Amino acid sequence: MDDYLHDAHDDAPGELPDEPLEPSLLAAAREYHRPPELPREAIWRAIQAERRAARATRPVPRRWIPWAAAAAALLAVGVGIGRLSLRTDPGTPVANWGPSAPAPRVSAAAYRLTTLEHLGQSEAFLTLFRSSVRTGGQERLASATARQLLATNRLLLDSPAATDRKTRVLLEDLELVLAEIAQLATDARPDDRALIREGMDRDGVLSRLRTEVPAGMTPTRGDL
């Protein structure tokens, strides 16, 4: 703790008269910086977001990139198989993801799950990026992570996951932000980072991600 409290005489105060302030003065003192109502949920949400971001990005070299690469590979395989199966069966009409097609509906659920995981990862990453805008110094790591997320994002945009209009628009906006971060040079100026942050704020990308991703969807504690 700071030593601002220490005073040559303070550690040997002797018997100081413990005389309280007069009631009127004490009442006035208790009005000093009187706290407003506690914004309990807002603070909790902010704490959770920061902690999620910290957990998600701490093991970046060992776990983040492999997860993103694995997700990208999985999606690539899924998309590839889907396309191949369409080609080998000439009688199959254009993919029908409607309610009467049971098999694709299962795939749609899997894509939805993958999309939510991707959005959760992106949320955690952008939260951390946003908070590090002022300090800088993480451009190389941020750029590498953004590139991995960007690859997954583009695969998702090209998959049935993007048939839902709201999800598609969110993925498109997210792509712009990730692309900007991916292009950050190691000698980026604070202005460059601030511009990206301004863009995020203007489009509300982060808040929309937070709305879209259900609680608990963001991988934590080594789930990456």
Residues of this chain that bind other proteins (CB under 8 A): 1-2, 4-7, 9-13, 16-22, 24-26, 28-36, 38-40, 42-44, 46-47, 50-51, 54, 221
At CB < 8 A and 24+ separation, what contacts does 59-63 make? Answer: 59/222, 59/224, 60/141, 60/145, 63/222, 63/224
Q: Which is nearer to other proteins, 2 or 89 (CB)?
A: 2
Distance CA 14, CA 99 (A): 83
The smaller minimum CB distance to other proteins, of residues 96 and 207, is found at 207
CA dist list (Å): 107 to 34, 48, 103: 56, 31, 7
CB of 32 to other proteins, least distance (A): 5
Nearer to other proteins, 29 or 94 (CB): 29
Least distance from other proteins to the Cβ atom of residue 215, Å? 9
Q: How far is the CB of 17 from other proteins (least distance, A)?
A: 7
Write down the least CB distance from residue 7 to other proteins, Å. Answer: 7
20 vs 98 by CB, closer to other proteins:
20
Q: Which two structure tokens, joined as six digits, stand for 88? A: 């080998």
Mention every residue, 6+ apart, whose C-beta is less than 8 A from residue 146: 125, 178, 179, 181, 182, 184
3-state secondary structure (DSSP) of residue 150? helix
What's the min distance (Å) between Cβ of 31 and other proteins? Answer: 5
Q: Which is nearer to other proteins, 42 or 103 (CB)?
A: 42
